[in-house]
Structure 1
Amino acid sequence: MHKKRRSLNQVKEDISVRVLRESLPQEWVVHSYGADYGIDCVVELFDFIDEDKKVAETLGENFFVQLKSSDCIEYTARKVYGRGNVAKGSLIEDKSDCTEIKVAKFQLDMSDILTVQSMGIAIPVLLILVDTNSERSFFICLNDYIDKVLIPEDPLYANKASKTIYIPTANEILDEEDALVALRAYGKRSKMYGAFSLFSYQLKEIWRIQGNAAAPHSIQREQAVEMIKTFVDIALRQDIWASHEFWKPMAWSHRELLELKEKLSREVKPEDYDQFLIYCSDFIWHRLTNLSNMYEELVREWFMPTYFAMLTSYPPRDESDESAQ
C-alpha cells in the first residue's frame, strides 16, 4: 500500500494560493470557496482604521477568483487595433491604427467561461494566473473580458471547448497602491451597480413631479423639495464615493451632491422652484445617471488587452517595468 502522495498539480495549487496571499495587502482576506465549481476563492477587502495598522475593518467589498497556475506560461505580444464601441455594435477595427500589448496566454475551459457569463456583470470574477517559476501573478476580469473581447472577436465562442485568454502583463498583482487601483474598483462594483439603479429611480421620480414622465405625479412644492432632500441624503449614504480617486467623474458628482445639500439647507423660493427642479433633473441627476453609461462604455474596458485599455488603464511607468518574463 502506498503512502499519501501529492501530485505536481497539488503542489502548484499550493504555490498559487501562497503567491496570491503574499501579493495582496496583508489586511485583505482570501476566503476559500470549497469545492471547485469555477470559483476558487473570494477576496474580501479590508482597510486599517488606526495609524499603527493593528486593526483593520471590512469595506463590505469583495471579488471572486478563478485561480490558475502554470510553470510554462507563454508570454507574447498581442496586436491590438483602434476600434468602435463594442457595447453599441459589432466589432469594427481600424487596421491602420495598431500597437502591441505584452500579454500572458492561458487556455481556459469553456465551462469556466460559461459559468462566469451566467453570473452576470455585477459581481466581478477575476482570473488570476500565477507563474509558479517567477511567482508573479496577473489578473483579468472575466466578466468584462467576455463582453469586451471574447464575444466581439468570436461570436461563436460557445461552440469551442476552450478559449485562449490574453492577460496584459501590466495587470500584475502587487501590494502597491497604484497596482491595487483595479482590484479596489472591482471590489466596489456591486455597490456601483446598486447606486446606478437608485439614481435612475430618483431621476424618474423627479421627472414625474415635473410632468415629464408617462405617469406624472403632481405634489406640493414643499413635498417636492423634501423629496429632493431625501434623495440627496440617500445618494450620499451610498458607499461608493471613497476609494475612487482613479475616476474623476465620481468625485465631481459627489461634490455636486454636497453642494446641492448645502443649497437645500436654505429655502427654495416659489419663484425659483421650477428652475430648481430643472437644475436637479438636467444637471445633478443627469450626471449621476450618466455614470452608469460611462461605466459600461469606459470603465469595463479598463485593464483589458485592447487598444483603448492600453491608453487609459495604467499610470505612466518605465518600459523596463512592463517587460515580460
Structure 2
Amino acid sequence: MEIRRKRRSVNQVREDISVQVLRENIPEAWVMHSYGEDYGIDCVVELFDYLDEDKNVAETLGENIFIQLKGSGSIQYGTRRAYHRGNVAKGPLNEDRTKFDDIPVAKFQLEVPELLTVQAMGVAVPVLLILVDTNTKRAYFVCLNDYIEKVLIPEDPKFYEKGHKTIHIPLANQILNLENNLVPLRAYGKRSKMYGAFGTFHYQHQEIRRVRGLTSVGEPASQGRVLAMIKTFTEASLRLDIWVGHEFWKPMGWSQNELEDIQAKIEAGIVPKEFDAFLEYCDVHVWRRLANLSSMYEELVREWFMPTSFALLTSYPEEKEGGEADARA
C-alpha cells in the first residue's frame, strides 16, 4: 500500500513565488489582503504612507488596488504592433496603418468570464493584472478596466463571445519599489477618489453658472450669499484627498493652486465693483478647468500604461539630469 504525503503542484509553487515577488517590489508599509477563494480577484493591496521620517508609524491612505495575480514560468514575450489611431472614447477604431510602434510586451491569456467580471465592476475600481515571471522574478502590470475599454472592445467588440483573450502587457510596466515605478500604482489607488471629486466639481460648476444666470433655471442671489457659496465650494474641494500624490499629472497642481488663489482672494475681501469679474473668473477659468479634469482623465490618464502608441508617448516621462522625472502632462 502506497503511503502518500502532502504534495504541492507546480501551480501552487508559482502562486507562492508570485506573492513573494509582488511583496518584495512594493513598499514595506503597503498591506496585501488575501481575497479568499478565487473569483477573479486574488488580493487587494492597501496603500499606506509613513507619518515620520524615522518610519515608525504608517497610516492608511484609504486607497486600494484589486489584483489578479498570475505567475508563469513560460511567459511568451514579443512585440505588439500598435498603429496610431483616433480617440476610441469618441468613436469606432480608426487606425492609421502607415504609422505604428512596436511595443515590447508579455502575453498572457485570460478567460473571458474573468474579463467580464472586471468590466462589471466599473472603471472607478481599478483591477490590475499582475503577471510574474517565476524564472526572472519580474512583475508586470496592466489595468484591466482600462484595457477592456481602450484596447479590447475597440479591436474586438464581440470579445465576450470568445472563451479567452490574450492580454498584452508592456514590459515598461515593471513593478519595482522605486518612486517612479510606483507612480502608476499610486494613481490607480486614488482612482475612486478622483471619480468622486469629478462629480463634486461638476455640481459646483453648475451652481456657479446658475447664480450667474447661465442655466435654464436661474437662482438670483445676493453677493454675500454667492461669496459664501464659493467659499464653501473652495474649502470643500481643497479638503478632498486627491491633491497629494498627483505631482506627476500637472493639471492637478494647476487646479489646486487656483483653488488656493480663490481662497486667498475671498479672505482678502472682494470689493463690490470686482464681484462680477471675480465670479466670471471662478466660472470660466477655475471651475471650468476643474470640471474638465474628468474629460482629460478619460482621454489621457485612462490610456496611460496601455500597449498603445499614445500611451507610449505619455506614460513614461523622460528623466531630467540627475535622474528626476518630468511630471506627466
Structure 2 match to 1:299: 301
- 1:277 Cα offset (Å): 1.3
Structure 1 match to 2:90: 88
Alignment of 1:38-117 (within 5 A): 38-117=40-119
Q: Determine the C-alpha separation between the residues in 2 that align with 1:266 and 1:222.
A: 14
Q: Determine the C-alpha separation between the residues in 1 that align with 2:172 and 2:230.
A: 44
5+ residue gaps in structure 2? 320-329
Moved over 4 A (4+): none
Q: Single out whichever of 261-270 and 70-79 deviates more from structure 2.
A: 261-270
**1:225 maps onto 2:190 in alignment:** no
Q: How many aligned residue pairs are there?
A: 317
Alignment of 1:129-208 (within 5 A): 129-208=131-210
Q: Deviations over 1:247-292 (max 9, x none)?
A: 0000000001001100011222222222221111100000001111
Q: Which amino acid aligns with 2:318?
A: P
Supply the RMSD in Å over aligned alpha carbons.
Answer: 1.0
5+ residue gaps in structure 1? 318-325
Structure 2 match to 1:320: none
- 1:122 Cα offset (Å): 0.4
Does the 8 Å contact 1:71/1:133 carry over to 2? Answer: yes
Identical amino acids, percent of aligned pairs: 61
Give the TM-score normalised by structure 2: 0.95
Does the 8 Å contact 1:178/1:315 carry over to 2? Answer: no
Q: Determine the C-alpha separation between the residues in 2 that align with 1:259 and 1:220.
A: 22
Q: Which amino acid aligns with 1:250?
A: M
Q: Deviations over 1:92-121 (max 9, x none)?
A: 111111111000000000011000000000
Q: Determine the C-alpha separation between the residues in 2 that align with 1:51 and 1:247.
A: 25
Does the 8 Å contact 1:62/1:187 carry over to 2? Answer: yes
Q: Determine the C-alpha separation between the residues in 2 that align with 1:193 and 1:225.
A: 26
Q: Single out whichever of 56-65 and 225-234 deviates more from structure 2.
A: 56-65
Q: Determine the C-alpha separation between the residues in 2 that align with 1:308 and 1:268.
A: 44
Q: Determine the C-alpha separation between the residues in 2 that align with 1:292 and 1:97.
A: 29
Q: Determine the C-alpha separation between the residues in 2 that align with 1:273 and 1:254.
A: 22
Q: Single out whichever of 184-193 and 4-13 deviates more from structure 2.
A: 4-13
